[in-house]
Amino acid sequence: MNIMKTAITTKRAIYVLLAFLGMAGITSCVKEVGHFISVSTVKSATMQFYVQGDTTHTMATTVDTISFVSVATPQTTVIGKNGQRPINCTLVFNANTKGTFSLVSLSLKYKQKSGTTLTTSNSNYGTVTVDSINATKGYISGSFVSKVLVATADTANVVGTFSIQQ
Closest CA to 45 of 106, 89, 102: 89
Each of the 166 residues of the chain gets a pLDDT tens digit; together they read: 555 444 455 555 554 444 444 443 333 333 444 444 333 467 899 999 999 999 999 999 889 999 999 998 999 999 999 989 999 999 999 999 999 999 999 999 999 999 999 999 999 999 999 999 998 889 999 999 999 999 888 999 999 999 999 8
Tell me if 91 sits within 8 A of 123, measured CB to CB.
no
Taking the mean position of all CA atoms in its chain, how far away is CA 109?
15
As a whole number of angstroms, the distance between CA 32 and CA 37 comes to 9
Domain ranges of the chain: 1-30, 39-165
As a whole number of angstroms, the distance between CA 86 and CA 88 comes to 7
Q: Which residues have CB under 8 Å from 65's CB, separation 6+?
A: 39, 79, 80, 81, 82, 83
Q: Considering the entire predicted model, what is its pTM?
A: 0.74
As a whole number of angstroms, the distance between CA 13 and CA 27 comes to 21
Residue 75 is predicted with a pLDDT of: 95
Residue 150 is predicted with a pLDDT of: 92
Angle 47-40-141 from CA coordinates, rounded to 5°: 30
Residue 91 is predicted with a pLDDT of: 96
